[in-house]
Structure 1
Amino acid sequence: MLKIDEYIIIRDFIKKKSLLLMDHEKKNHARTGIAINNYRTIEINGKTYYLIPTNLFTAIVDRYLGIASAKYPNQFGTGNANDVIKAIYDLEPWFDLNRFNEILKTEQFCYVVEVKNGVINEKLLRIDLYRDIKENKNGGFDFIGGVFHCYKHFSYEGNPLSTSKEINDIKYPSVLIFKIITAFFQGNVTVVDKFTSYSEVQINNEKLRLVFYYEQNTEVFFVKTAHKI
């Protein structure tokens, strides 16, 4: 349950971090405030976490990604991230496709923070949809960073959720978000260097290594990649 005093503390904390990120990434704008009705609390193994997602992040992860993978299955598992974005876009076309892609890769994310007795754990995780789309050496296009990069190892109701053809069904696309949170905050995290750490997680029969990037200037952790081990 959302507590108003904790909401105010987290709101100010997120605003400060967002402004630091905007300055560090040399952006002209950044989403510094999220509506109070977007705040969600979850409890994992007795610990409470606040999830602060944008509207579009929630809509895509909780609804549109699963619908798009069922309605346009040929757009998934092609090795081309642009096909996945086109499938989601075609559900409800607005603006134009390039603009839609730009919106998704810039400021669509979910912040996750732990709060205990009104005190914020300074370890802040940001889960983007994705940070960019780039061509790979095979001529395809990959999602760079974020949960869409991780979705390549999963499927929903028998349909791939990203660029890979891997079939590894999860109950809902949002399940992966909770697995990432658990691995990051409660997993056995290994620090590789000052920028990189990883934690391993078991999902169905797959064991994955989730890799996190630490941005030193803002002290924010990002989901970087995931690979099978």
Structure 2
Amino acid sequence: MVDLGKTYVAIKKQVEEISIRLMQHENKNFCLAHISPVYWRIVSYKDTQENEHFFVIVPSIAFNRFILEREYLHVVEQFPECFEKKDDWLIVKALKEYDKLKLVREYTDEEFLEYIMGETMAYVFKVEQNGSISNRILRLDLCRGINKSNTFQGGIFHVLKHFTVNGYPTLSSNTTEYYVETWSEIYKYVILNFFVGTIENDNRDNYYVAKSYLKDGHILRGVYYKEDNIPVSFISSIRIDNSLKKR
């Protein structure tokens, strides 16, 4: 087991530096530069070759609640009429209604979207056996916006369009997609895809593709975006191939 104490200082420094650089790059007037270790989560995942990998997830409070603590599933349960409707603005409404007692005032849908597009994310670090952290860092936002087709762009909410947890008809505005047994499998697959997957070229500047395999042989292709001179990558989209072709 990795000793988190050996990596604490390095992760804390990276989070502060990345947050400030992103704030300056994106012309924001604030950033979340410190996240209490109380919310950090160390996880170990095995790849398809049974190699074990250790990661530290450093989430904002909102990301921790909705994703790591599974509150998003409560939203799906309480507002089923807002899902499977091909309109992600309905999911924004459901999230806002679920969270209304925690908001300092009444938000418009646009304001609430701006909130979940902001510093509501998690940084993911891969920890090596010697306690060092890898140079590649993943940032998982809740979302990066909604496009003209009323579809979430990027982030974990886009990822949810491609997965369905056993026992739920859908997790998004889409119909049923690839089934997983547990909620945590979704972000596990994304993390393994980013850090362990085979890297392929993309036709667009600053984008690249990572290819990995799900446990039944389906191929997961994640598309990531990385700005020059900023040491963090964002998930743009994913695709799960129907082929069951093995390696």
The normalised TM-score by structure 2 is 0.83
Contact 1:53 1:110 in 2 (8 A): yes
Q: 2: distance between equivalents of 1:7 and 1:97?
A: 38
**Which structure 2 segments of 5+ residues have no match?**
46-50, 242-247
Which amino acid counterpart does residue 66 of structure 1 have in structure 2?
A: L
Give the 3 Å change call, closer, same or farther, for CA 172–66 of structure 1 in structure 2.
farther
Q: 2: distance between equivalents of 1:182 and 1:91?
A: 31
Pick the aligned partner of 1:56 from 55, 62, 68: 62
Whether 2:158 is the aligned partner of 1:149: answer: yes
Alignment of 1:88-127 (within 5 A): 88-93=95-100, 94=103, 95=105, 96-98=107-109, 99-116=111-128, 117-127=130-140
Partner of 2:172: 162
Which amino acid counterpart does residue 88 of structure 2 have in structure 1?
A: A
Which amino acid counterpart does residue 196 of structure 1 have in structure 2?
A: Y
Q: 2: distance between equivalents of 1:74 and 1:168?
A: 21
Q: 2: distance between equivalents of 1:106 and 1:180?
A: 21
Contact 1:127 1:147 in 2 (8 A): yes
Partner of 2:245: none
Contact 1:195 1:215 in 2 (8 A): yes
User: For residues 45-93 of structure 1, what are the alpha-carbon distances to aligned partners after superposition, in whole Å with 9 as ceiling and x for unaligned?
Assistant: 3222111011110211132211121222221111111111212222231
User: For residues 121-165 of structure 1, what are the alpha-carbon distances to aligned partners after superposition, in whole Å with 9 as ceiling and x for unaligned?
Assistant: 1101101110111212xxxx0101111111112223232111211
Which amino acid counterpart does residue 151 of structure 1 have in structure 2?
A: L
Q: Please list every run of at least 4 consecutive aligned residues from structure 1 whose deviation after the TM superposition is greater than 3 angstroms.
A: 203-208
Partner of 2:77: 70
Pick the aligned partner of 2:148 from 126, 132, 135: 135
Partner of 2:240: 228
Q: 2: distance between equivalents of 1:55 and 1:220?
A: 20
Partner of 2:37: 36
Q: 2: distance between equivalents of 1:43 and 1:27?
A: 34
Alignment of 1:200-211 (within 5 A): 200=211, 201-202=213-214, 207-211=219-223
**Larger strand percent:** 1
Partner of 2:209: 198
User: For residues 27-52 of structure 1, what are the alpha-carbon distances to aligned partners after superposition, in whole Å with 9 as ceiling and x for unaligned?
Assistant: 11111110111111112232221110
Partner of 1:25: 26
Q: 1: distance between equivalents of 2:52 and 2:38?
A: 23
SS at match of 1:133: coil
How many residue pairs align between the two structures?
Answer: 225
Which amino acid counterpart does residue 161 of structure 1 have in structure 2?
A: L
CA offset at residue 174 of structure 1? 2.9
Q: Equivalent pairs: percent with the same residue?
A: 25
The normalised TM-score by structure 1 is 0.89
Partner of 2:53: 47
Which amino acid counterpart does residue 176 of structure 2 have in structure 1?
A: E
Partner of 2:15: 14
